[in-house]
Structure 1
């Protein structure tokens, strides 16, 4: 583990506090790792009002959700569901247990972070049961923390619905709740799936490059930036998927930034654009020197 300090100093407290979630603490007995949840286990029983899944029960009891409606999309590390809450339509992202994910090589994104508790650091490096729980919590907390920072900075990202204090969103592990982009009947499609006119494609490209530049201006590389992690809604590009967001403290930062530029250029070819990775990166770097979006004002 690198000796350089992470920008997420709060992570030490959240990962190493064994009493953050006493009611959610895993039992020591062996259990099958949780992968993709069946929608039937996430919906409340009409007679009792209880859901079979303990995470959903917790979210219902705390008032974060009122109902899980349908599965939206399943990926390599999490499944997204359409849900409802006290503030309207919700995108519920439920991470699989680390042992059940097809995407497991997350170390490249975590380099440069510091975990001050050496026992915790060894547990995570050794991927012990406790270490995996810490990594899982860290992955979820990182997505919330990044969402809050980017949302406040004015970037086009989904609004996080739990927080902004880490002590609040740490309790929802392994779930991340954000405002649904689109509607329940027609959630916003990924750019990779959207049908665009040539004019729309050029607009989407400019917005996507600007979004990557806005991230770079804040000192971030996305780590997985392509049309698969960009939504298209009302002629606007919305950036999603932030747990692997990395900072300049990561020795792999430049490599990840270049890979983002290449992924963006490659994934836009289906929309008829033929920019190279080198051209894309230069344009991102040029735009990152300019002004950023207007920060959002959060009302009490």
Structure 2
């Protein structure tokens, strides 16, 4: 895998020039609810409003329609673009997010740039910006990998080159699952018949197995990070995806199985975490989905 100047894989992080440019700009915490017109008020390069202006100027989006959900890490907006409806995920500043214990997901990563490694470990201002860019670009890189591998994930709309999606930090753009009027609900919020619940369970277990076949543990796998649309389970939320190089891999994998089993109990299923893990491992040894062809 090719490494960038910061020592991170080039397909996961923007280059150091991007970090330096963003270092010079003071960031602000995105609020949970703001007027939509405020999202385009800033100058290009001034996050978060300037990022929206950049996306508009580059033609990635044409309009921000509505706020969809404000979570612990990011706020999701419904937007429109040249290829249809878009989900715009706008991350909060790392220092302002309630989810800060991200070290467990990053263990095992090799950072060749010692100054960058020290900055990130010390969580200095520049280090936080590098961590933020790495977190956002990792979601893009993982989305592209999973999409190409044929998994049921939202289609990423910027990239696939890191030089392209690195410019959108702290935003991630993907195709909206559902419609503008009726975005796909999280599986945790969906009302399912017994037959639908059984189908959703089988798909969710298969999705976790497909990730494992590719060498990944999701790190936060439950009905809260699965969508339900047209009787299909869609996997979402990938910045914390981790590989077998992480010494915490087996722990995270086991935790995912337990979380999935626990979160499905509201739908009437009573599988244990241990049973779920065994089934995931069994399926991971089988064939995977048909890869998608990325057209030019």
Q: Structure 2 length as normaliser, TM-score?
A: 0.92
1:158 and 2:164 correspond:
no
Instruction: Give 2:227's match in structure 1, choosing from 231, 234, 244.
Output: 231
Whole-Å Cα distance in 1 between the matches of residues 16 and 154 of structure 2? Answer: 30
DSSP-derived class of the 2:275 partner:
helix
Instruction: Give 2:17's match in structure 1, choosing from 19, 22, 26.
Output: 19
Whole-Å Cα distance in 1 between the matches of residues 191 and 64 of structure 2? Answer: 28
1:147 and 2:143 correspond:
yes
What residue in structure 2 maps to residue 240 of structure 1? 236
Whole-Å Cα distance in 2 between the matches of residues 62 and 224 of structure 1? Answer: 33
Deviation at 1:16, TM superposition (A): 7.5
> Could you list the runs of 5+ residues in structure 2 that have no partner in the other structure?
42-46
CA contact 1:41–1:52 (8 Å) conserved in 2: no
What residue in structure 1 maps to residue 121 of structure 2? 125
DSSP-derived class of the 2:65 partner:
strand
DSSP-derived class of the 2:18 partner:
coil
Whole-Å Cα distance in 2 between the matches of residues 268 and 103 of structure 1? Answer: 23
Deviation at 1:37, TM superposition (A): 5.8
Q: Deviations over 1:148-193 (max 9, x none)?
A: 0000000000000000001100000000000000000000000000
Whole-Å Cα distance in 2 between the matches of residues 272 and 8 of structure 1? Answer: 46
What residue in structure 1 maps to residue 276 of structure 2? 280
What residue in structure 2 maps to residue 4 of structure 1? none
Deviation at 1:18, TM superposition (A): 3.2
RMSD: 2.0
Paired residues for 1:106-255 under 5 Å: 106-255=102-251
Instruction: Give 2:65's match in structure 1, choosing from 57, 63, 69.
Output: 69
What residue in structure 1 maps to residue 44 of structure 2? none
Whole-Å Cα distance in 1 between the matches of residues 107 and 48 of structure 2? Answer: 37
CA contact 2:211–2:217 (8 Å) conserved in 1: yes
Q: Deviations over 1:36-83 (max 9, x none)?
A: 4624345557xxxxx991111111111111000000011110011000
DSSP-derived class of the 1:294 partner:
coil
Aligned length: 287
DSSP-derived class of the 1:241 partner:
coil
1:56 and 2:58 correspond:
no
> Could you list the runs of 5+ residues in structure 1 that have no partner in the other structure?
1-6, 46-50
Whole-Å Cα distance in 1 between the matches of residues 27 and 246 of structure 2? Answer: 34
CA contact 2:258–2:273 (8 Å) conserved in 1: yes
What residue in structure 2 maps to residue 289 of structure 1? 285
CA contact 1:35–1:101 (8 Å) conserved in 2: no
Whole-Å Cα distance in 1 between the matches of residues 126 and 291 of structure 2? Answer: 38
Whole-Å Cα distance in 1 between the matches of residues 207 and 40 of structure 2? Answer: 38
DSSP-derived class of the 1:299 partner:
coil
CA contact 1:155–1:211 (8 Å) conserved in 2: yes
Q: Structure 1 length as normaliser, TM-score?
A: 0.91
